[in-house]
Structure 1
């Protein structure tokens, strides 16, 4: 008997025009589309061509006009500033309409770009929605991002205005933004007309000519109405790191993005209008774009802006406090956050202090969820569903997930469940042939991609083709490796460049990490392949131990080496592991395995722009030298890291 999910999924693949045309009826259009799917310029597919809409009207105005203006739209919770604030849909619309008027006074119009360089504050959402309101294209860049990296984005996006704040606030420090932005503008060839600054009392910015106060400009401005834009017009540019060092500007359109995110809120996340869905991410990441800035507000739910950490603000109970205080129905976070919580509170004692009766589902994404973390979360949350799902900056929403609003499928640890509606996922060999179930290969998606995905890269169609569709004609190349099992469940084992070759055997570092994560003393881990003259590559493991573990590290290393030998086999040649205090990560929690590998291989490397704490790389270098790697450093490597 075919289940509900299977029927809905099959229709999305066999009748995409009908499926997405129906979904688009839930969105407000000034002018209905001419075509649901325009495939006249393959592989540059376009959705809802000819249609006219406005993202800001769909996120704010239409809900106010429907009589729900008093409902909470945005919750701002900042343990680092001891602030909690609630914004209704009406209040937020009025702020956005006035700031849109302020931007217009600065000369920003339809198609112009605005860079938003801000911490996790509601003004970041006001700025992005204001851009959408007048048809401008926003590009959010992490507040605190290095000046050089920001300058590259300024030159690529050529913004008229930068909207920023005077500082960002971390657990133990305040980060002034003025020197970063001024240095970036100095480095860039393109010079924006204005910089708008949200003054924060923790560190104010001494304004110079061309630099304006956020709220002073907002208060002086007159509110403006929404401007109709084409469904195919860009809403935002989001830069993702590229292998060449030049970031790729992923483009998101207005129409497809509205339709897709609106569909996901109920069908994937099982959220209803008025309920609270919290994505514990940052507006600088795609998760923050889809499920802090836009998704909930498109659908008419409540979103959360959290300026804090999973641990340290003040402790490992921070998430549970948030869920109780704000009546969160679903939380979406990275597995790394839960590994951090597990490390500090391995027996989940802090969870007992809070009332989680309104909490129903935990969603994990951002990197592969190891089964140990999944099982710990399930146990700690008294058996509530813990749903791993998989997606990318480029896709904008989930490729594979357990679609909780359609049918709850059995969870298989290690798998983000099955392809989501619209995603024709296939596992291919190097000759673009589909592999049998159970065999590992390149995970690709048959074109066209569904709405809401990247139509191209900003001003770079050629790089779009080279990066995503050239290697597997007719498919989108996810650059992830894995397999599908007999039941159609997807397993993401590694990035294709994380599949290592040990004496001719292609092995997944993800599979080895699964084994290490099962050890009772290991809180989180990473395995990378390092160069070896004899076998080509050898795996090396890095482990962070749970709080309170006092056993000798040598014993734990011996145990995990034996576990890998027993569970994967001698072919893995896993003999080397080391204990470290921390793993180097991006600000979204992804472990920087590629950087670790370059250091171990004594190759030139560059400090990743998205790294959370650069000091950790020095600790990794020391750990590698202790076990016999990277004893000698190349001059180019050291200078690249500076």
Structure 2
């Protein structure tokens, strides 16, 4: 790992020199005079004194460089049948038009704009238009409940909210405008203007004096100054709220300068992409993946990016992803393991994969949820390309741990996203804050300062930023995930720190148990949570979803799973109870709601999280839950049945 090691070591030992060199990947109107401002730890700032514009780096410079005719954005919507290719020049024209619309509504540098849109080209246009005029955007996942939207509106106090009349899910239309109207009735600080994209699937009723159609807003803005506004590198580009929050939401603040540099560097070095490549991050712009790797990263790097309005299954079938890859000659696909598990469950024999020419595909990237060995092995065998995990968070904005395909591709290890990315000084700490030995599990933390592109604070709440991320181990960012490093330096992320359970004094990772269960040939996906137990403190309880077509008795499968965990984790795990369910409750970004499941197991009241994909799944588990049976076998000296 010579090339990797030299860059990583330099990034840790000489971060100023390292990131000074990487700053040349973007265009500055005024170069920074101080690469790292470390005068107020733990509040670090990158590229102090520098001035630039993120929209210029994503669009204008490519058009000026003669690449205006290159396709910037491919919109593919199987739920409507719409397909559209937009060149860099055309996208720039659309962004300038909407920047004029925002100008006409009085939006200026530093003002906030809330964006509540489905996966249509207007969402990309709105984000870039905000960046162009120096406004701060906050994208809220389309379809979020009114109360959740109202909280975000009150936290941001936007000048304008941009929405659509509806979003489209498989088999149903979700009307957005009634949600927006209800949210603004609840909000204490509603915007003066709501700009509405009218969609034919469900036209919205406009509120007089407040609502304006997108086309009318654009017409009103013709002639406005839409040139790029220079902003400070340290000025906020956007605020993105973390999923699953309760009470006042946590708004992650992303700056302009560090973010642009991190996006340019990661597209080239982490993902191995070059100008003209076709890149598809199969996520939603409401999540951090959509911000970093549907919009900003690929456009700053000069790629063609795919914007997909559909699902991995059901639009129309489990071959949907492969149809998009083949049709648009996608070179790299980035998706969540949960999407692959859904495809595998619906098409266990991979019949639909073989119907498409996937010769353009070089790499499959995975993130958002732990990549279990079974899914890793299945995807690699079926697609015939490297399956590359990478681990990061909404807070960091780009990978903490990855296999750097554009710097030095390394051997892939099942269960590991590979090694720390340059700039991230990853340490595994014990409860006392001391580094642990190789192979020993602990809290995964990153030594400060975090590299460019990561969160700078929480919107309007520096104290909460410190308390949430920087207080448990002073001098470190606490990721909230647990894991270990092996003797080769590879990082294994086992799950959230609160998913480590204590069974009769033994600290055990539910993620390790899930890895064992997921390898069973009949299991499509699984989750293990810790259930309160009077004798042992906690006991693990498994939930499994079986592959389509499995018709064996569930009892046989459960017995095999219990034995596999006993064989591979040990009898100390006391793993004895498994429930076969039809689906696992997940957020819209694909994360399994393990905490909610644990609360159900413990008999606690469970509030349905606003980020949930399908609340009925959680309700079915709640309704079907039965207390774990008392084991008929005696407790042995080793502490388990």
Q: What TM-score range do you get, normalising by the shorter chain?
A: over 0.9
Rounded Cα–Cα distance in structure 2 between residues aligned with 1:360 and 1:132? 32
2:301 paired residue number: 299
Rounded Cα–Cα distance in structure 2 between residues aligned with 1:588 and 1:26? 30
Rounded Cα–Cα distance in structure 2 between residues aligned with 1:533 and 1:627? 12
Aligned-partner SS, 1:376:
helix
Once the two structures are overlaid, the 10-residue window that deviates more, 465-474 or 208-217, is 208-217
Q: Please, what is the CA RMSD of the aligned residues?
A: 1.1
1:350 paired residue number: 352
Per the alignment, do residues 232 and 568 of structure 1 end up closer, same or farther by CA in structure 2, a change over 3 Å counting?
A: same
Please state how far the C-alpha of 1:347 moved relative to its aligned partner: 2.0
2:464 paired residue number: 463
- 1:144-543 aligned within 5 A: 144-209=143-208, 210-222=210-222, 224-241=226-243, 245-382=247-384, 384-543=385-544
1:116 paired residue number: 115
1:636 paired residue number: none
Rounded Cα–Cα distance in structure 2 between residues aligned with 1:139 and 1:554? 48
Please state how far the C-alpha of 1:627 moved relative to its aligned partner: 4.9
Q: Residues 344-379 of structure 1: CA distance to partner in whole angstroms, max 9, x if unpaired?
A: 111212111111111100000001000000000000
Tell me the TM-score normalised to structure 1 length.
0.96
Rounded Cα–Cα distance in structure 1 between residues aligned with 2:565 and 2:371? 18
2:12 paired residue number: 13
Rounded Cα–Cα distance in structure 2 between residues aligned with 1:604 and 1:434? 37
CA contact (8 A) 1:331 1:361 kept: yes
CA contact (8 A) 2:376 2:387 kept: yes
CA contact (8 A) 2:103 2:221 kept: no
Rounded Cα–Cα distance in structure 2 between residues aligned with 1:343 and 1:475? 40
Once the two structures are overlaid, the 10-residue window that deviates more, 587-596 or 219-228, is 219-228
Please state how far the C-alpha of 1:26 moved relative to its aligned partner: 1.7
Per the alignment, do residues 140 and 628 of structure 1 end up closer, same or farther by CA in structure 2, a change over 3 Å counting?
A: farther
Aligned-partner SS, 2:625:
helix
Please state how far the C-alpha of 1:215 moved relative to its aligned partner: 2.0
Rounded Cα–Cα distance in structure 2 between residues aligned with 1:66 and 1:248? 39
1:140 paired residue number: 139
Rounded Cα–Cα distance in structure 2 between residues aligned with 1:179 and 1:367? 32
Equivalences, count: 627
Please state how far the C-alpha of 1:605 moved relative to its aligned partner: 2.3
Stretches of 4+ aligned residues off by more than 3 angstroms: 241-245, 626-629
Rounded Cα–Cα distance in structure 1 between residues aligned with 2:566 and 2:143? 43
Q: Residues 377-411 of structure 1: CA distance to partner in whole angstroms, max 9, x if unpaired?
A: 000012x1100110000000000000000111111
Please state how far the C-alpha of 1:60 moved relative to its aligned partner: 0.5
CA contact (8 A) 1:242 1:248 kept: no
Q: Residues 164-194 of structure 1: CA distance to partner in whole angstroms, max 9, x if unpaired?
A: 0000000010011111111111111112111
CA contact (8 A) 1:580 1:623 kept: no
1:49 paired residue number: 48
Aligned-partner SS, 1:582:
coil
Rounded Cα–Cα distance in structure 2 between residues aligned with 1:345 and 1:118? 31
Rounded Cα–Cα distance in structure 1 between residues aligned with 2:454 and 2:514? 30
2:95 paired residue number: 96
Tell me the TM-score normalised to structure 2 length.
0.97
Consecutive unaligned residues of structure 1, counting only runs of 5 or more, are 630-642
Aligned-partner SS, 2:428:
strand
2:622 paired residue number: 621
Aligned-partner SS, 1:94:
helix
CA contact (8 A) 1:400 1:419 kept: yes
Once the two structures are overlaid, the 10-residue window that deviates more, 340-349 or 465-474, is 340-349
